[in-house]
Amino acid sequence: MTRSTARPRRKQIAAGAIGAATAALAIGGLLQPAVSYAEKVFDQASYDKCAIAAEKRWVLKQTTDALFADELKFCCQRSGGVWTVSSTGGGSCRAETATAETSQVPLPSQVATGPGQSTLPDLRKG
């Protein structure tokens, strides 16, 4: 009697497909964080072009005051800027300030462990 090799072959193909899918998901999970931490750069020309188009629509009464303000905020965010609201109710778009860390992270031995204790071990209140 001859034995059919179709069933073991299907199992091998199914196992290979599952293995390939698992590997693809693992690689995708590892590569994703690299994309999400891209540095934002403010593009002034892009903001100006978008804001001018929004202003033209506002002047022609195609948008309301509130929609015009929302469009300016959208233009700012799209171009990589930070929208700040002024005290007069308007707003402005600026480049995001640098966020370089200037303070050092303390070592565990420099952290106060309770009330009345100093941050350095040899300077505790006695």
Q: What is the pLDDT of residue 105?
A: 62
Q: What is the pLDDT of residue 18?
A: 75
Show pLDDT as tens, one digit a residue, over the chain (126 residues): 556 555 667 777 777 767 777 766 666 665 555 445 556 788 999 999 999 999 999 999 999 999 999 999 999 999 999 998 887 777 889 888 766 555 566 666 666 666 666 555 554 454
Q: Global pTM?
A: 0.48
DSSP 7-33: HHHHHHHHHHHHHHHHHHHHHHHHHHH
Task: Tell me the sheet residues that pair with 95.
Answer: 81
| Token representation of residue 16 | 């290979």
